[in-house]
Structure 1
Amino acid sequence: MIVPDGYSDVPNGKIAAVVTHLEMTTPPARRDDPPGAWSLRKVDAPAPNWYRDLYRRVGEEWLWFSRARMTDTELAAIIHAPGIEICALAVDGRDEGLLELDFRQPGQCELVYFGVTAGLIGTGAARFLMNRALELAWSRDVRRVWVHTCTFDHPSAVAFYQRSGFRPFRRQIEIADDPRLDGMAPRDAAKHVPIIE
Structure 2
Amino acid sequence: MSDRTTVTTWYLEQTSPADLAPADGGEEVPGLRIVRAEVPTPEYSRFLYTAVGQDVTWTDRLGWPYARWREFLDRPGVETWVAYDRGTPAGFIELDAGGADAQREAAVEISYFGLIPAFRGRRIGGLLLSYGTARAWDLADRWPGRAATQRVWVHTCSKDGPHALANYQRRGFRLFRTETAQEPKTPTPGPWPGA
Is the structural similarity TM-score above 0.5?
Answer: yes
1:158 aligns with one of 150, 157, 165? 165
2:76 aligns with one of 74, 82, 90? 82
Residue 138 of structure 2 is aligned to residue 144 of structure 1: no
Counterpart of 1:26 in structure 2 is: 16
Query: 1: distance between equivalents of 2:96 and 2:183?
Result: 23
- Letter of the aligned partner of 2:53 in structure 1? G
Q: Which runs of no fewer than 5 residues in structure 1 stay unpaired? A: 1-8, 190-197
Task: Label 1:30 to 1:177 Cα distance change in 2 as closer, same or farther (>3 A).
Answer: closer
> What fraction of aligned residue pairs are identical, expressed as a percent?
28
Query: 2: distance between equivalents of 1:136 and 1:29?
Result: 11
Query: 2: distance between equivalents of 1:33 and 1:120?
Result: 18
Q: How does 1:85-124 map to 2 (within 5 A)?
A: 85-104=79-98, 105-106=102-103, 107-124=106-123
Q: Deviations over 1:142-188 (max 9, x none)?
A: 111100000011122111111100011111235555443xxx814xx
Task: Label 1:176 to 1:72 Cα distance change in 2 as closer, same or farther (>3 A).
Answer: farther
Query: 2: distance between equivalents of 1:136 and 1:50?
Result: 20
Query: 1: distance between equivalents of 2:161 and 2:186?
Result: 18
Look up the SS of the partner of 1:168 in the other structure: strand
Counterpart of 2:49 in structure 1 is: 55
Query: 2: distance between equivalents of 1:114 and 1:173?
Result: 21
Q: Report the TM-score when normalising by structure 1.
A: 0.80
Query: 2: distance between equivalents of 1:33 and 1:78?
Result: 32
Query: 2: distance between equivalents of 1:87 and 1:42?
Result: 4
Counterpart of 2:143 in structure 1 is: none
Task: Label 1:29 to 1:110 Cα distance change in 2 as closer, same or farther (>3 A).
Answer: closer
More helix by share: 2
Query: 1: distance between equivalents of 2:127 and 2:54?
Result: 21
Q: Once the 2 structures are TM-superposed, how far is the Cα of residue 80 of structure 1 from its aligned partner?
A: 2.0
Query: 1: distance between equivalents of 2:80 and 2:181?
Result: 25
Task: Label 1:86 to 1:174 Cα distance change in 2 as closer, same or farther (>3 A).
Answer: farther
Retained in 2: the 8 A contact 1:20–1:171? yes
Retained in 2: the 8 A contact 1:45–1:79? no
Retained in 2: the 8 A contact 1:90–1:96? yes
Retained in 1: the 8 A contact 2:20–2:130? no
Counterpart of 2:127 in structure 1 is: 128
Q: Report the TM-score when normalising by structure 2.
A: 0.80
Counterpart of 2:175 in structure 1 is: 168
Query: 2: distance between equivalents of 1:177 and 1:159?
Result: 25
Query: 2: distance between equivalents of 1:15 and 1:72?
Result: 30
